[in-house]
A = this chain, B = another copy of it.
Amino acid sequence: MFRTPICRLARPIVFSAKPIRSSRMITAHAVVFADHGEPCDVLSTHTYEIDENNLDANSILVKTIASPVNASDINQVQGVYPSQPEKTTQLGTEKPSAVGGNEGLFQILKVGASVTKFEEGDWAVPTTVNFGTWRTHAVCSAEDMMKLRNPDQSVASGKKQGLNINQGATISVNLLTAYLMLTHYVQLTPGKDWFIQNGGNSAVGKFASQIGRILGINSLSVIRDRPNLEETVESLKTQYGATQVITEEQNNSRDFGAEVKKWVQETGGDIKLAFNCIGGKSSTAIARKLGKNGLMLTYGGMSFQPVILPTSLHIFKNVTSAGFWMTALLKENPNLKQKTIDQFVEWYEDGKLVDAPSVETKFTGGDLAQVYKDAIANSKDGKQLVVY
């Protein structure tokens, strides 16, 4: 269903007429699964050798700088995610296996003779999902990676700063989701129009409000009540660019709706988009705030409740409810990612964008699978990033 990167084993050295380059072996580790189940049960480390001096002409050898754990990575291992990497024996595993992980930052170590798009030292991220990013190294086609300016290149091109590792390693999923939902579906008028989102304190939520600030689109972020509410609201507004922040209780209150209407009227625009990652009555309440012809995009269901939409919103306000799945969208529009990621790099370089912090674990050798198993177990404490 999805394009799978062609990862090759080091070729056995055979005697042939053509001159054989001296082999130089790298020991690589990859976190693989042959069967679906709970990550702690099915993930294991596969260790194998890569000959860095015997690359195919169109191949590249990369080493991993960092790769995070996303919820969809876990669902993929569990077998409850519709997009799955192909399981093969290409890495030399006994049973056909796949490498976990979909997002990550890589550095080019070596390029094949015909590769012009990369140089050694370049940074790169996978072109598509299902690359398998929980690994120390990979050999793949140059087409399977897209270039990212590394910090030296940013500075050399006159920028004050380049990407940090967390920014590069988490540029492909949440940021891209926020950007595409905000820009790909509805024409919003800067300075006037609004979007509303539940999960306003999530990584996607923070990116969406920041992108809103950059593009001049007003945002109304809904968050759960919490002990440090004022502080969170303040941070979402000043640091992450939210125009207004309300609680789920305010979101559900019909009376408070008048306040929201006032804010929107003051800008002379309308709430034209809603992003739902929660479902249930939270989805109902943000949909109710949409103006006529509004669109709600659902990209998650954290409450495990379905999307609930009053009939009258559909019929008399022409509100439409649709889904957002980046995997499917990028499959249909493969150029969107490169174009978008170039934009993100610029925003990071210019200090316009703040990355969502990750909890970092340094891999210093040992059982790589255990490092990701621990990270998965700790995911409740925040986004986990394994740095190599």
Contacts and interface: CB of A to CB of B under 8 A. Distances in A.
Interface of A: 82, 279, 284, 298-301, 306-325, 328
B321 A314 contact: yes
Contacts of A316: 82, 323, 325, 328
Contact of A284 (B298, B306, B323, B328): B306
Contact of A318 (B300, B313, B319, B325): B325
B324 A315 contact: yes
16 contacts: A279-B311, A298-B314, A306-B311, A307-B311, A307-B314, A307-B321, A308-B309, A313-B323, A316-B323, A316-B328, A318-B322, A319-B323, A320-B320, A320-B323, A321-B321, A321-B322
B314 A322 contact: yes
B308 A318 contact: no
A291 to B, nearest CB: 14
Given A309-B321, A318-B323, 4 more contacts: A284-B306, A301-B315, A313-B323, A320-B322
B323 A314 contact: yes
Contacts of A300: 311, 315
Contacts of A318: 322-323, 325, 328
A306 B306 CA distance: 11
A131 to B, nearest CB: 20
10 shortest interchain CB distances as A-B pairs = A314-B323, A301-B311, A298-B314, A315-B323, A321-B321, A320-B322, A307-B309, A82-B316, A315-B325, A306-B310
